[in-house]
Amino acid sequence: MGSVDPIVEALQRRAASDARVIALGGGLPSPRQFPRRALATAFLRTIGDPSALQYGWPEGHARLRAFIAARLAARGADIDADEVVVTSGAQQAIVIATQAIVGPGGRIATDEESYPAALDAFRTLGAIPVAGLDAPSTTAAYVMPAIANPRGRALDRAARGRLIASRRALLEDDAYAELRFDGAPPAPLVTEARGRVFHIGTFSKTLCPGLRVGWLVAPRRYQRRVLRAKRDQDLQSSTLAQAILVEALGLGADGDDAAIARAVESFDARLERLRRFYRRRAERLVRALRRHLPSWRVAMPEGGFSVWVDSDDALDDVTLLRAAVDEGVAFDPGRLFRPSRTPAPLALRLCFSAEPPDRLEEGVRRLARAVARVARAAHGARSATLHP
Amino acid sequence: MGSVDPIVEALQRRAASDARVIALGGGLPSPRQFPRRALATAFLRTIGDPSALQYGWPEGHARLRAFIAARLAARGADIDADEVVVTSGAQQAIVIATQAIVGPGGRIATDEESYPAALDAFRTLGAIPVAGLDAPSTTAAYVMPAIANPRGRALDRAARGRLIASRRALLEDDAYAELRFDGAPPAPLVTEARGRVFHIGTFSKTLCPGLRVGWLVAPRRYQRRVLRAKRDQDLQSSTLAQAILVEALGLGADGDDAAIARAVESFDARLERLRRFYRRRAERLVRALRRHLPSWRVAMPEGGFSVWVDSDDALDDVTLLRAAVDEGVAFDPGRLFRPSRTPAPLALRLCFSAEPPDRLEEGVRRLARAVARVARAAHGARSATLHP
């Protein structure tokens, strides 16, 4: 959590420490959907096995890798279990992939708005994120084809075609793919360009973030380098978290093909519940926005946790965030999602994932009050300037 | 686990997959000392709190940071809880500290033999590990002052004085400090050079590695950069692992000063048991070495998990490892610990931590057989060359 912008971070921390503040920012999954009972049962089965508490190999738990490969296979990707590297969340997978393909000064194409923690990681590695997937002189593109963060929409077919046709390395962040409301994620890019795609996924959105378990499937020629990077960075991801996951997925007793097929199916049943749950919340948020902030533009998302809101109001997003937190609601300022970091035109990411429906409605009401307040103040200031 | 040397790694994997092979390599803590009951109780208390499964802040759990600061304070270090950053094991702390102070081509002084995963991480970051803590033209030194890995001995007073007097940044890896058999770790370097020392620690040796929880205390002027690096690399360390730790340490209900003092004391009681346990194993291993390989040189360690063995036998360490695994015992070849990677003269790291005493004795017996076998083969080859 938190932004590298110190002012935004201070506001985020203030908001997070106050339960009265409604969280329309942050991109957090709903705690109601954390599989607490399954994790508890899994933990108690796991703790008897010393290997769950011991060091492990950098590539991760064999059954977990087999499960991840099987889910990708169900979407048409020809991935072997031993090509999957378990990472400490999707973030580490993004970093390892970036290090493998982009040197300092290298340019990475992204959507016009993209995931802030990826943009920040690129910058720290000395790479330059550039808005627009077709941006010239880029050596790689970072993209979330199934469900983009923040817009919550799929990559359109033409843009996808151009990505596949381009010669660049592709970082495919598939974090929200399984949370498409229609339950029909497109085939991952890795199915069409295995030799150039770094495929990235995570259990943070579909199970819970606290386990910190994600994965990376690299082009085969990068496999050795990726494993070396993984070992260098933290030796291995938590063996305990992986062992709990393996048990919770139903693979504790047996990891043969039939067991994995059953686990894949049972995970699908869970995803179906999640999709209904988050779709209801998305609809509620979008309805509330159209009611309370009718001049703002928002599209119903196709999945994920958030929507992107554009506005013609000439307001500063961070000023608005400060006023919003005062009113009791937090959101993510649009500038964080832009490779250029520009605050204009005004835009926001709003998340429907973390709060119950009535709080979503009330959050938007508070946001509308904050907008009115900041607009009045801005108008007052302009009037004062015009008529001194 | 595992080495970046593909031949060594293949042997390590073969050894690890066969329970009959006695593990004198690897540096693993004894599974008998994993606090399984405490972790299970802690887990069940933790799972009711959704924040244990949610995203968290990059710096880590406040109570855990307070506990770490209190333990350092008990050793004379003036560290505030908010200066502690929880990391995914000591390894991530090493990487973050290195990135902060050593650029590509930078030289890092180390002991003549040092921790292989640190050496590998330095190399991947483009830095050059150099043998000898006083090596010239080094911008930083990486050192384990309380208990060095692999030798299991403290830094001597004169060398420590020179380190403090030198102007370089110091990476102080304190992983084994609390496992000094005398229970009297020296004051950490951070007490004498707060502005230049990156202090690194871990729960992997004293509780269990599977949680992947370590820490980094950076000089204050690096704090912001370190937090940024931590967030970039994996957003945060596992909230679940941290929440379990906080409960297992006795800080679940309350994190005030008195509760922390009690937790520190109760951890000390655990450490005392661990020290007795590992000291007995160390004595057994050293005795066995003196009995079965009397020409090899080994010093009784002062703590930690391992000893370093020097030999005048003109044998190759990896050839010996292959023969040893055939005989049913594994060890860590000396070359892995040398910044220069040179295999000569023959040396080995032997760990007494992971195996029960009778297996230690039997392991050394098998090792002696492997030595005899390789020596015979080498002698035969030399004879054949001399008398064709």
The secondary structure of residue B134, as a DSSP letter, is: T
Q: Do B40 and A39 touch (CB under 8 A)?
A: no
Cβ neighbours of A26 in B, within 8 Å:
55
Is A114 found in the same domain as A258?
Answer: yes
CA distance B58 to chain A (A): 7
CA B84 from centre of chain: 19
CB spacing of A120 vs B210 below 8 angstroms? no
Query: For the segment A163-179, what is each residue's pLDDT rounded down to a tens digit?
Result: 999 989 999 999 999 99
CA atoms of B12 and B3, how far apart (whole Å): 8
Give a yes or no: residue B325 inside a domain: yes
B103 and B211 both lie in a single domain: yes
Residue A331: φ, ψ to 5°: -145, 180
- Per-residue pLDDT for A374 more than 60? yes
Whether chain A has a CB inside 8 Å of the CB on B2: the answer is yes
pLDDT band at B379, cuts 50/70/90?
confident
Question: Quick check: is B262 in a domain?
Answer: no
Among B232, B255, B278, residue at a domain's last position: B255
On whether residue B384 sits in a domain, the answer given is: no
**B284: in domain:** yes
Contact yes or no for A2 and B57 at CB 8 A: yes
Q: Do A238 and B212 touch (CB under 8 A)?
A: yes
Residues of A in Cβ contact (< 8 Å) with B210: 52-56, 238-240, 243
Q: Is the pLDDT of residue A304 over 90?
A: yes
Residue A44 lies in domain? 36-268
* The pLDDT of residue A386 is above 60: no
**Which percentage of chain B shows pLDDT scores above 70?**
98
A197 and A240 within one domain: yes
Q: Is residue B1 part of a domain?
A: no
Interface check for B206 against chain A (CB to CB < 8 A): the answer is no
Q: Tell me: pLDDT of A388 over 50.
A: no
Percent of chain A with pLDDT over 90: 94
Q: Is the pLDDT of residue B387 over 70?
A: no
A22-65 pLDDT tens trace: 999 999 999 999 999 999 999 999 998 999 999 999 999 999 99
Q: How far is CA A165 from CA A106, A156, A159, A174, B234, in A?
A: 20, 14, 10, 20, 31
C-beta neighbour count of B294 within 10 angstroms: 8
Please report the pLDDT score of residue A201 as a whole number.
98
Domain boundary among A217, A245, A268: A268
Whether residues B99 and B213 share a domain: the answer is yes
- Nearest Cα residue to B296 out of B305, B304, B285: B285
Look-up of token digits 């339960």: A19
Ranges of H-type helices in B47-112:
62-74, 89-101
Torsion over CA: B314, B318, B319, B323 (sign): positive
Spatial separation of the C-alpha atoms in residues A337 and A317, rounded to whole Å? 12
- Closest CB to B121: pick one of A87, A232, A241: A232
Cα–Cα distances (Å) from B180 to B163, B284, B297, in that order, read 21, 17, 21
Inside any domain, residue A149: yes
Give yes or no: residues B81 and B229 share one domain: yes
Q: Residue A281 pLDDT > 50, yes or no?
A: yes
Provide the domain count of chain A.
Answer: 2
Interface test with B, best of A30, A46, A235, A305 (most B CBs within 10 A): A235
Asked if B361 and B218 sit in the same domain, the reply is no
Residues of A numbered 141-170 whose beta carbons fall under 8 angstroms of chain B's beta carbons: which are they? none
Summary mean pLDDT of chain A: 95
Contact A154, A147 (CB under 8 A): yes
**Domain boundary pick from B228, B255, B282:** B255
Q: Based on the domain organization, do A334 and A260 belong to the same domain?
A: no
Q: What pLDDT does residue B388 have?
A: 47
- Phi, psi torsion values for A104, nearest 5 degrees: -55, 135
Distances (CA, A) of A177 to A33, A94, A342: 17, 16, 28
Q: What is the CATH number of the domain that holds A171?
A: 3.40.640.10
Q: Which chain B residues have a beta carbon less than 8 Å from that of A57?
A: 1-2, 13
Interface contact B202, partner A, CB < 8 A: no
Chain A residue closest in CA terms to B48:
A36
Is residue B388 in some structural domain? no
Do B240 and B118 have their domain in common?
yes
Q: How many residues does chain B have?
A: 388
Contacts with B120 from chain A: Cβ below 8 Å? 228, 231-232
CB of A3 less than 8 A from some CB of B: no
B263 within a domain of the structure (yes/no): no
Question: Are residue A23 and residue A66 in the same domain, yes or no?
Answer: no
pLDDT digit string, tens, across residues B136-189? 999 999 999 999 999 999 999 999 999 999 989 999 999 999 999 999 999 999
ipTM: 0.95
From residue A54, give the alpha-carbon distance in Å to each of A50, B32, B386: 6, 11, 49
Do B54 and B161 fall into the same domain?
A: yes
Pairing of strands A329-330, A22-23: parallel
Interface of A with B in 99-118 (CB under 8 A): 117
CATH code for the domain in which residue B366 is found: 3.90.1150.10
The arithmetic mean of pLDDT across residues A234-251, rounded, is 96
In this prediction, residue B295 has a pLDDT band, given cuts at 50, 70 and 90, of very high
Q: Do B210 and A54 touch (CB under 8 A)?
A: yes
Q: Which tens digits make up the pLDDT trace of B329-359?
A: 999 999 999 999 999 999 999 999 999 999 9
Q: Does residue A175 sit in the same domain as residue A111?
A: yes
DSSP letter string, B281-299: HHHHHHHHHHHH-TTSEE-
> Using CA of residue B124, residue B125, residue B128, residue B134, what is the dihedral sign?
negative
**Shared domain check, B299 and B233:** no
pTM (2 d.p.): 0.96
With bands split at pLDDT 50, 70 and 90, how would you rate the model's confidence at A2? confident
Q: What is the pLDDT of residues B235-266, one digit of tens each?
A: 999 999 999 999 999 998 888 999 999 999 99
